[in-house]
Amino acid sequence: MRADVDRGGAPRGRGLRTAIKAPWCARSVQCGPVTEAGGVVVSNSNVENLPPHIIRLVYKEVTTLTADPPDGIKVFPNEEDLTDLQVTIEGPEGTPYAGGLFRMKLLLGKDFPASPPKGYFLTKIFHPNVGANGEICVNVLKRDWTAELGIRHVLLTIKCLLIHPNPESALNEEAGRLLLENYEEYAARARLLTEIHGGSGGPSARVPAGGATASSADPSAPASVGGPGGAEGPMAKKHAGERDKKLAAKKKTEKKRALRRL
């Protein structure tokens, strides 16, 4: 059985094969089998498990995000699965990720929006809250999630995570430790991977799944040591101040110990 498509292009109904109207497809891209209604046939996806009204809500938000994305973020819906969103995020200025273009994906489960989507970076990145498999650890995708939060909010939160990493909930323990103890080393490692994997010659410069072309404001320009993502950026200044306080406290403690020995 195949679901119908309503006049607005959003899918309705359930079945083993769900037709999804895909206005985001580039004309030069073959999106797969096309139904009589002009949609793309989808099989074996979570779309089949979502109620019709949720499918319509997701379709509406995805269409809006594609046409009017947040600053520095682009959304490339998967023409064969509305619950698998491909996204690119430009590395924010003032961070070691500046100048990079990072691919990621959001997977909407069968219980969405009661349960949060799962986020993964497809571009290799050195970040405390990104695991070895690309899994993203952020509260909005876990305990802070509510059904009222939308996909746009999730994407903005993930972008903010590039500006303000949280070492307290690190999936990459080494990155979390360096962020707290040796920011310069952390920034250097993060910049290196950004230049290798997030630059114009890296994997992120390739066309995302679905055939759309991702672009950013000069993603090939690496951040220099003294540049936005270097030792003089806001993140560096913040952690430098924290490090200086720790060093001062350590020296004070050592001085007290020396006086006791006398």
CA distance 217 to 213: 14
Angstrom distance (rounded) from CA 138 to CA 144: 9
Is 91 inside a domain boundary?
yes
Cis peptide before 113 (omega within 30 of 0): yes
Region 95-123: what's the mean pLDDT?
95
Residue 58 and residue 47: Cα distance in Å, rounded? 10
User: What residues are paired with 120 via a beta bridge?
Assistant: 105, 135
Residue 243 confidence (pLDDT): 59
> Could you tell me if residue 218 is inside a domain?
no
Q: Please tell me the pTM assigned to this model.
A: 0.64
d(CA 144, CA 158): 14
* CATH number of the domain enclosing 65: 3.10.110.10
Please check whether residue 240 lies inside any domain of the structure: no
Q: Which residue range(s) make up the domain with 95?
A: 47-198
Classify residue 98: in a domain, yes or no.
yes
Instruction: Please tell me the predicted confidence (pLDDT) of residue 254.
Output: 65
How many domains does the chain fold into? Answer: 1
**Does pLDDT of 44 surpass 60?**
no
Has residue 255 been placed in a domain? no
CB-based contacts of 164: which residues, under 8 Å, 6+ apart? none
**pLDDT confidence tier of residue 30, bands split at 50, 70 and 90:** very low
Task: Please check the confidence at residue 240 and state whether its pLDDT lies above 90.
Answer: no
Q: Determine the Cα–Cα distance for residues 212 and 25; give it in Å rounded to an integer.
A: 8
Q: Is position 6 within any domain?
A: no
pLDDT band, residue 8 (cuts 50/70/90): very low
Measured between alpha carbons, how far is 29 from 201 in angstroms, rounded to an integer? 23
Residues designated catalytic: 137
Instruction: Tell me the mean pLDDT in the region 36-45.
Output: 40
Does some domain include residue 209? Answer: no
> Which amino acid does the sequence have at 244?
D
In this structure, the number of other CB atoms found within 10 A of the CB of residue 126 comes to: 21
